[in-house]
Amino acid sequence: MNRILCILAVAVQLVACSKNPITGRNQLTLFSEAEIQTMATQEYQTFLTKNKVVSTTVSKDAEMVRRIGTRISTAVTNYFTEKGLKNELAGYKWEYNLVDSKEANAWCMPGGKIVVYTGLLPITQNEAALAVVMGHEVAHAIAKHGNERMSQGMVQELGGVALSVALASKPAETQNLFMGAYGLGTTYGAILPFSRSNELEADKYGLFFCAMAGYNPQEAIPLWERMAAASGGNAPPEFASTHPAEATRIEKLKQLMPEALKYYKPIGTK
């Protein structure tokens, strides 16, 4: 029986592999974007009702999150349109919320559903650094890394069945896979780690989107230096818990910086 399941899992992966139009890399995506976005919308609204959302009418920080999100989503839309890939953003209805929590975390679900935790702000310290984080999380969503992680988990744990079947037969397990795939592990179970290729892609395109939105991408370097300091040599902040070592990431970001700066036009310039 185990041998049969292994053969089926391999077959599923071969059939479901597709080339990502942005990164050019083949990835396992068992689920359609429409399926993932529907589930994301439902889980996002559930999350917001169970957590304290900070209002933009009373908080400059919440307004900052909204402002960054708006600029990054505009930059992403323009970039995809220029590349002839606007259809890749079909169904995206961007939302940006600041949630009151001590966790140093942020995430973006498919369809542009973004959350930043207040516990991250003492580390980011300024708008450009927060834009680096949000750009990184948006890049994860756009590159379909969550779909890839959830697909891998579905093959390993549920045999690669269709999402509708998994939701009907094992709803709790499927929800945990989804929430873990999109970075909500502290509430819903262990976070599924991103692969090295996922992280490099999110760093690269996140940095570019940040620059396109008018934020200085060079803020990424001191940001990750602060991330390293915040860890105190122990466990890193929640946002960085599944990410490569800070020194490795900083070196990669330095290599990407010349290209990122080509996209950078400070806010207010033409």
- Tell me the per-residue pLDDT of 83-113, one tens digit each, with 9 for 90 and over: 999 999 999 999 999 999 999 989 998 899 9
The pair of structure tokens assigned to 203 is 């760093």
pLDDT band at 13 (very low <50, low <70, confident <90, very high): very low
Which pTM was predicted?
A: 0.81
pLDDT tens digits, 45-82: 999 999 999 999 999 999 999 999 999 999 999 999 99
Pairing relation of β-strands 26-28 and 53-54?
unpaired
Band of residue 156 on the pLDDT scale cut at 50, 70, 90: low
Please give the average per-residue pLDDT across 250-261, as a whole number: 94
Which run of H or E residues covers position 109?
Answer: strand 106-109
In 3D space, the residue among 260, 48, 222 whose CA is nearest the CA of residue 139 turns out to be: 260
Higher pLDDT, 140 or 15: 140
Task: Give me the catalytic one of 33, 43, 137, 246.
Answer: 137
Please say if 35 is a catalytic residue: no
In this predicted structure, the answer to whether residue 190 has a pLDDT above a threshold of 80 is no
